[in-house]
Structure 1
């Protein structure tokens, strides 16, 4: 008869059966080979498992529907979702500790907060491209060996390499180099981290997020270092096991792609698309990230150009604080509400194009209040129409006037407004020639 191939069984942490409980006790008391334990002890365990598996083949053991063999005496249970080799049923994922490249000792601190200024900048493309190199090379998994680039060949060494960290980190320290984010905000280059503090060598793992593979966002492309070698594979969110315990992080040194504006995309209607507030930790002294650049660009679009002698850039500076405060003061806020640090309300107004612009020269805004759509229709007349026309001429959009502008609405008014709207990049119904609140705001900016 053909003898099936069996993998070593890792007892579930919460299984009450005598077989699993005994194996957990033996595994906890047995030192690892790298810590002085004898390889024969581990071989004996494998022999025990193979013997148990052989008994199952002969009818003496219990197997799950997925084919996994439990120790003798284990109750019949529904099969757990099968994970990749080395990670099924919470299999061991050994972790190396914090170490320098090529395993050299570290001279600096290995705990505590990380200064963003000390981290190398990386774009998302940089991170994914570095991750792909190991996938192409099929770097063998090892918690003790180091690849030619100096990074340890385990899962945490792999992420350290992809994020271009100055040293090899482990699952207990990688969080220091990232900003915690929600799963819904995951983007390529972010990491999903599970660290088991009770026993770091049991189940701890980290993967790189490479993008969603389905519209329901239940699976993603994972770049990971696992046995037997680096791979790129579609994976359930967040992982095959311990899924609810994985935490998403974004690299603190992340910057925007060269030549790409990371600000909100303007749809056909003209109003910027809403952007989720990234959190207060991204702004203030010492901050350096693409959110600072995005903030500065949004502020410049709202009248803050005079605060920047160069930039905006990823490093937080006094110009960012003064520009943010000017925008907050323009909304009529005072005290702690105008402290120069963007909170959720400040960010939301900037990202959606709402609120008042920063007045020129620090004075009061001169734009008249929007009178309403009903004032700009055929047959209507009033000072608002003449005010609109004069501002159109001032902004260089008055070519359709043969005389005037005047106080009565005309086709020339509509065509000039339409030209101005098209100059904003609007099309279709957003450029119909009738001024709405956003047209009015931009015209009098």
Structure 2
């Protein structure tokens, strides 16, 4: 009797000999590398055939073999990102135990910087091509690149480099991984976690490699499809773990300002309430940055005798240090030192035209734009003060302001239009 069998993935929960053999075959095939893919596939098929025959003849744990099911994702935003196999830089073969070797330390900032580089370049998606940095241009190659692994791994081997964490532990630079046993290469996917978009933790910024190229977008947790099957992981090689919200280390100025939603904003508000700033909050401090946070911070800074840029209402290292170590003076009661009056409303200056901004542009409007971005709390990309020469720092600061309004795609391209200009100067 002629018997034909289709290749399927072993049930992870089954402990029978057949499934164990198939799991070993899959494991070796995934680790075997780019150059041996045909041989690996042959080994997998042979293992499946032997396991199935043993099951049919010996009455083992597998009663029947079914064809691999196609993907059933119905969302128009479902990932379309099949992945290649484990490979070294530029597709060079790697040893099977490569994923068990110690990895070079990196920081969250470095992970996000590398990932943003692909986002900015819109690296085209490919499961066979390798980008100029040597990494494969698919989803697992993208995370491998961001983590600095020195090889392109797969969604099945990336967990070897990471620790499993919970949703509540997710921080920028961590990864969400979904492995589909029925379609290991075409149905699995991974994305980088870029931070929560809302206080309820229902949406986050995902940086990912999918067709047609690298993208960054607000994404429902855990993903558009197969949401309950994504698992959070943290790279083991982190050299500078992000400080906990209840720690003493200053988390960075980029944690505070319009559009920011995180636990550091909550802790700032609680510290300010302890120092006499409760009157600025109609409701208790929350993760959403608001005008109450800015006014309470400003009042605390003024109480220390600081003025000008030192009392702009946005916490820096000194403000944070004074608050967490209970240094300096408390915020005086309203009867003693009234809160500074708000500045009179100003109408936005006329938009000078989109042709005044972009690469090669040098004019006073670029300076005016940069100064207003700094005043609004969106100047973190300037290494020097704003100037008349348009640069990448201007574009990234404008993009940050646009994203804070909830915009994405072409609406957050980093180039000011009339609407951006009006909101920025309002």
Q: TM-score, normalised by structure 2?
A: 0.39
TM-score, length basis structure 1: 0.38
Greater C-alpha radius of gyration: 1
